[in-house]
Structure 1
Amino acid sequence: MDGFEIDTVLLLFSFGLVLNSSYTASCSFGNGNRISVSSCTMIHDDEGSVPSVIASDECLSLLQWPISTTASLRNRTIECQFAQLKGRRKYQEDRITCDLDMNMPSLGKNDLKEVRLGIAAVFDGHGGSEASEMASHLLLNYFHLHYVSKMYKLMVQQYKGELTMAESKSLLLQVLKELLLSTIHDIDVKFTQVALENNHICGSTATIILMFDRQILVANVGDSKAFLFSDKIQSAMLSAIELAKDHHPDRDDERARIEAAGGSVIVWGVPRVNGVLAMSRSIGDIYLKRYGVIAVPELTGWQPLTTADRYLMVATDGIFESLTANDVRDLILEWNSHDIQGSSSSLAEYIVNTAYDKGGTDNLSVILIPL
């Protein structure tokens, strides 16, 4: 491939970023920005993390997205139903993020095309809201930066003939999985830096549903929840399928890692790492990382959605202080049959209000996605 063709690829890729108006505030053309695209990718390759990319002038001049830890919830589509209550706690430490209409640049057979991705996530903070606040806001920005860097390299490979269209398509699901892992890692790295500078001792769960092409992937850190509610065959009932495993310190594999790192599992009401933290994986909690607490998520495989699937739910564990998964299933059936009374304006709000009325004391947060 000659220099002109390489420049054409970079220009097309920049154009793809401009089309993605949900994220790109501004981006001009010209040799300078074409160099910035490749420079930004090289910085990503050399440094290996999104924080290093964001810190570079080359990338900031090209990718001018608002990176802030104080922005409010992104709820970009009507498909994202959400509700939150402080509950009976003094502070609201839960945070949520949802965008089911992320139009991302990808390479078609002869030109650029867009693919649609969706992300729904809850972050249950403890010991303060700093970790959940930062994680909820950085999630989409960091994921997008990772996606841009990886897709740019795949596009160049395809134009050079090093990667066929079929190979590129088959790689995408694996790439998205890897990008989600990298995103969570970089959020934890960034928060660790901030926590050390500001003496934060807080942490957060992270439960994330990634949606693409009628398939879902779930990543979980901690003990927030994800469920799929589906029609039962030859029945008016719904089944509740749990999509994420809790990370409690007394789980055999979690306990083994903690003890191997020199930590201990002590029961103080519930099993806790060193008698302090009631989960064995989290974002933050920097003073327990040396004792085996990690921010590495467990990921499911890609699961296709079917015509029987009705709702996806991601929620903090406060909901399940007073409700079971079958209780939530019954609330969905009640709502859809209109056999309810009260002031709830949405099904998500109805679930949160019911959990509170039945005695929930923790912060309460739900994102519900009708399918």
Structure 2
Amino acid sequence: MCSVYLCRSRVSYFAVFDGHGGARASRFAAENLHHNLAKKFPSGEKENLDKLIKKCLLDTFRQTDEDFLKKASSQKPVWKDGSTATCVLVVDDMVYVANLGDSRAVLCRVEASADGQKRSVTLALSKEHNPTIYEERMRIQRAGGTVRDGRVLGVLEVSRSIGDGQYKRCGVISTPDLRRIQLTPNDRFIILACDGLFKVFSADEAVKFVLNVLQEGTVEQKEGLTEDELRFESACQQLASEAVRRGCADNVTVILLSIGF
């Protein structure tokens, strides 16, 4: 995570990268994508900031993918790693989400119902990319690739990624989906996690699980952390542990973002 000030705005960045075929693509993205983002981020007072930020994110993903593929192709043997990427960029009260693959981001918003009771609403902030989705499959087939058993060439589970050089000619791309949402005082948190979590939790179940932990009684005190910070830390750890307990055989990475006004 990094947090900086740019354009008189507070800008925070969070990301999850889930590698396949090895850890080199996910490690490279984790170490380099935010640097590319910082270099390309619009500076100074400019109009059309929203449009510029979206272009910045698209350029950042393209640059990171190109840089990794260049490094991967220079190795002997050639690296064949790939990685999903789901990045959350918060600019003041605006959230931008850029994602490739099947890691996800979801927002918990608490609203008052007609009877005055509060209820949680789960908002999807990302879009999954797999070759069974019509638009993704059509792009792969137009590029000369095939989809077998729900996978590109019968092997790759995702249709967009960083890396995976051997599949780029088959229609696998590094162009992320972009979504934007304005935060409100009713927003509680964002869950950012790899598919390991969502194989055993629906988005609604994950949100309700976190809410239940946050509403529990006492928490063990730790020096340097507030009670709210301790509750969110506990909720994040318990959510990941529960995914493992439910039998998820995949790795489980979870980031829990507390939203405060």
- TM-score, normalisation: structure 2: 0.88
TM-superposed CA distance for 1:307, in Å, is: 1.1
Equivalent position of 2:54 in the other structure = 177
Match of 2:122 in 1: 240
Equivalent positions of 1:304-323 (< 5 A) are: 304-323=182-201
Match of 1:298 among 177, 197, 209: 177
Give the corresponding residue for 1:250. 132
Q: Structure 1 residues 200, 238: closer, same or farther in 2, change over 3 A?
A: same
Preserved CA contact (<8 Å) 1:118 1:210: yes
Matched to 1:102, the amino acid is V
Q: 2:49 is aligned with what amino acid?
A: L
Matched, 1:354 2:242: yes
Partner of 1:137: 31
The one of 216, 219, 222 equivalent to 2:101 is 222
Task: Kindly name which structure, 1 or 2, has the bigger radius of gyration based on alpha carbons.
Answer: 1
- Aligned equivalent of 2:163, options 274, 284, 303: 284
Secondary structure of residue in 2 paired with 1:237: strand
Task: Report deviation, 1:227.
Answer: 0.1
TM-score when scaled to structure 1? 0.63
Counterparts of 1:140 and 1:325, CA distance in 2: 26
The CA distance in 1 between the partners of 2:132 and 2:211, in whole Å, is 35
Gaps in structure 2 of 5+ consecutive residues:
221-230
Instruction: Give the AA of the match of 2:83.
Output: S
Q: Distance in 2 between matches of 1:280 and 1:339?
A: 44
Cα deviations across residues 52-72 of structure 1 (Å, max 9, x unaligned)? xxxxxxxxxxxxxxxxxxxxx
The 1:323/1:339 distance shift into structure 2, 3 A limit, reads farther
Structural mapping, 1:83-98, within 5 Å: 98=1
Say which is worse superposed, 192-201 or 126-135, in terms of deviation. Answer: 192-201
Q: Residue type matched to 1:331 in 2?
A: F
Kept in 2, the 8 Å contact 1:228–1:313? The answer is: yes
Match of 1:272 in 2: 151
> Structure 1 pair 171/322, CA: closer, same or farther in 2 (3 Å)?
same
Letter in 1 for 2:211: L
Q: Deviations over 1:151-173 (max 9, x none)?
A: 2xxx5xxxxxxxxx6xx2x3222
1:117 alignment counterpart: 11
Structure 1 counterpart of 2:144, one-letter code: G
- Check whether the contact 1:191–1:284 (CA below 8 A) recurs between aligned residues: yes
Which residue number corresponds to residue 22 of structure 1? Answer: none
Question: Which residue of the other structure, out of 65, 70, 77, is the alignment partner of 1:193?
Answer: 70
Identity %: 35
| Paired residues of 1:334 and 1:340 also in contact (CA < 8 A) | no
Separation of aligned partners in 1, 2:54 and 2:18: 22
Partner of residue 328, structure 1: 206
CA distance change for structure 1 residues 236 and 255 in 2, over 3 Å: closer, same or farther?
Answer: same
Which residue is 2:223 aligned to?
none
Alpha-carbon separation, structure 2, partners of 1:292 and 1:329: 34
Matched residue count: 243
Considering fraction of residues, name the structure with more helix: 1
SS in 1 for 2:9: strand
2:5 is matched with 103
Paired with 1:363 and 1:315, the residues of 2 have a C-alpha distance of: 10
- Given that residues 17 and 194 in structure 2 are in contact (C-alpha distance below 8 angstroms), is that contact kept between their aligned partners in structure 1? yes
Distance in 2, Cα, partners of 1:178 & 1:129: 28
Quick one: structure 1 residues 190 and 117, their matched pair in 2 at CA, closer, same or farther if it must change by over 3 Å? Answer: same
> Which has the larger displacement, 344-353 or 196-205?
344-353
CA contact 2:210–2:236 (8 Å) conserved in 1: no
Secondary structure, counterpart of 2:123 in structure 1: strand
- Residue 303 of structure 1 and its aligned partner are, at CA, apart by 1.5
Which amino acid letter does the alignment assign opposite residue 136 of structure 1? A
CA contact (8 A) 2:84 2:101 kept: yes
Secondary structure (helix, strand or coil) at the match of 2:188 reads strand
User: Against the structure 1 CA distance between its residues 361 and 280, is the aligned structure 2 distance closer, same or farther, given a 3 Å change threshold?
Assistant: same
Alpha-carbon distance in structure 1 between the residues aligned to 2:29 and 2:238: 26
Q: For residue 341 of structure 1, report the CA deviation from its aligned partner.
A: 10
